[in-house]
Structure 1
Amino acid sequence: MKAKYAVGCLVVLCISTGWLIGYIYQLLILAYETNGILTDSEYSWFIRLLLNLTGYSAVLVPAFLMYKYLQMSNYFEKISNSSHVYRVLYSCFAEPSERLPETVKPKTEESEKRDTLEMLFCFSGLMGAYLVWGLLQEKIMTQSYVMEDGSVSRFSDSQFLVFINRLSALLVSLAWLLWTRQPLLTAPLYKFSYCSLTNVISAWCQYEALKYVSFPTQVLSKSCKVIPVMVMGKLISRNKYAPHEYVTALLISTGMLMFMFASHDQPVSPGTSVSGVCLLLLYMSCDSFTSSWQSALFRSYRARPLQVMCVVSACSCALTAPALLASHTPLPQHPMFVADCLLLSASSALGQVLIYRTIARFGAIVFTIVMTLRQAVSILISCAVYGHAVSLVGGAGVALVFAAVLYRVHCRRRSA
């Protein structure tokens, strides 16, 4: 009985803490938006990032307090009942007593054919969904919308795009799981919060980076993700990599640097260049952790792609909603902007389904290589549509990146 009262008091404390942090966040947002020096600074993105993290903490801090209490008090060992509060807390914070063992099915010629066909399906689906998503992303973040009265409106709230993309992914995955009557959770909810936080930050960084670097530079920077993905794989899952994987990762990074430093398709100041590089580095680090952590969830808990997609998207919506509600940034009241956002969220949802499927079936490294190949077409289309210039050295860098990727695929096929 004492444990029930203690949990009840802690729930009230957590709600109060979340409300207090949310109130402080609103005051900070208001102070930032009314300070012209901060909003006009070349490094205003860093202040906005800190503000976003403050908004996320309105959810994370209360959840952490509850988790630490339940862990220190051995709540689930002392209490055993079927009350709604107990079931919610168990779903969120209780570790399963037994994990499902990892099973490795022997490879047969038929299974290899199925894997090849599925890989082609995932690749073609990701290609189509993210080509549309990439073009719309660049349009929304870099182009102006002309209103009926002749005024020009420019969109700048990256947090809004993160939220609608995660919301669409949540609705699609939740509808499918309910339709097929599959369980929503196969692991405690807090396990998904880690990759959810890094997923939100990485998504925000890639949208924000378009204010400082060109779209081809942003796209090609994702090719460098191979290195941080390998690092995260060693740290999280203790993965081992062959020598050719290290060599190709180095070649990919070299080609990326050649492209970034040889591209002068838009005039930028030193501060803007630094901001763009910092955002891209933060994006790659967070996104690499996200895919590696999701890959570990698939192996450890035998979770299905749509289950992970649903729970991670729900956590991401919970993190971004308070920050979005407190923002006072107006959205362009233009029919084309609404249509672009709807199509962006739809293509993002389809891409998310295929992302989780690819990571579950083939791992984080293969997924990264698939996305790198997809980026070649994105760069060519973006250059054709928006007129980005690529120098001779930059073109050589692009060629080096994709030659390294193809060599990596060749070595992987030989060792299979």
Structure 2
Amino acid sequence: MGTMDFKTDASAVTINVLLIVHPEEAASKQKGQRAGQTEGGRSSGLHDDGNGNKRSQPPQGRDLNGWRVSREPCEQTQAITSHSNEGTQMTVEIHPKDTTPQLFKKLSFGKGPRRLPSLRGQDNKAFQRTEAPRPPGGKDLHAYPWDKSSLKSMPVDLQQFEKLDAYALKVNIKNSVEELVKALLKQARTDLEKVRAIWMWICHHIEYDVVGYHNKSQLSSKPIDVLQKGKSICEGYAGLFEQMCSIAGIQCMKLSGYSKGYGYKMGQTFTGDSDHAWNAVYLDGRWHLLDSTWGSGAVDDSFTKFTFRYNEFYFLTHPALFINNHFPDNSNWQLLKPTLTLKDFENNRLHNSNFYMLGLLTAHPETAVIQT
């Protein structure tokens, strides 16, 4: 017996349905389209954030590695398959036509404790299903400026992650994204733990491709290529993160925008296409931001060598801090109220992660640009 939980709606009507499912007839196709967004600002995906994390500045309209950001949506098709003919108990809510569809949070088929129905991909492996990502709304917004309340957008006890982090670092699968996720989820129960395991693995196993940055013809940002090669630029980091979350049943978006990365000059303006990519994940009823490229390490001043140097700051960063050096193409993904203009972003002082981790706040001046 399982239940399907919806967000509550005062105008909704709830009914119970009992389904008798036959395994050989249960496959139904579901398509998921998500808009791919790519790399951010004029500076490259790696930046000097106080931990020595450097990022390179590509030409305008290109990502950390100088690649133009792809805006084509990616489409995945998988079939839902039930493994039990014992029947399925579902709770369904019927909403008026003029209301916004609500997010399915849990779905269980047949016997057993599974929260989500399994999906079978082309390789016949069982995966979990992810609903189409919803756009951010009022519940997702955080107040600007930062009020020193928390470095992260949700309560996180890092000590509780110690065993999971250690396990994730030891997983060594490079031939299949699906098999990698399957191995990582063996020690992850909650959605937060799933995202954490994926984050830790990528930050410690994918290096920034400085050679690919200089030789674009040899570069691929496809998740399977990033996994097998073990290196990429920011779009590859964000794309792999998005696909791994999707396989794990987590709503995730790849976002693009400007960033104040390696090579950024104080007071510079941002024009042209975005040059950096990062992600948003949906946890506990709201969206959260993270940047696995900047969480993974640093490049040297000459941008010829990458060094793994993990940075916790960019995992579920508080949006009022994330906006300091990440400006998304779509202002809704600032997750802030009020949102900042590009001019605000250009004028604001740039702080590294150590500044915030020490609990510091800027008193005066408010902007990095002072007109005289």
TM-score (structure 2 length as normaliser): 0.30
More helix by share: 1
Q: Which has the larger radius of gyration?
A: 1
More strand by share: 2
TM-score (structure 1 length as normaliser): 0.27
Higher relative contact order (CA 8 A, sep 6+): 1
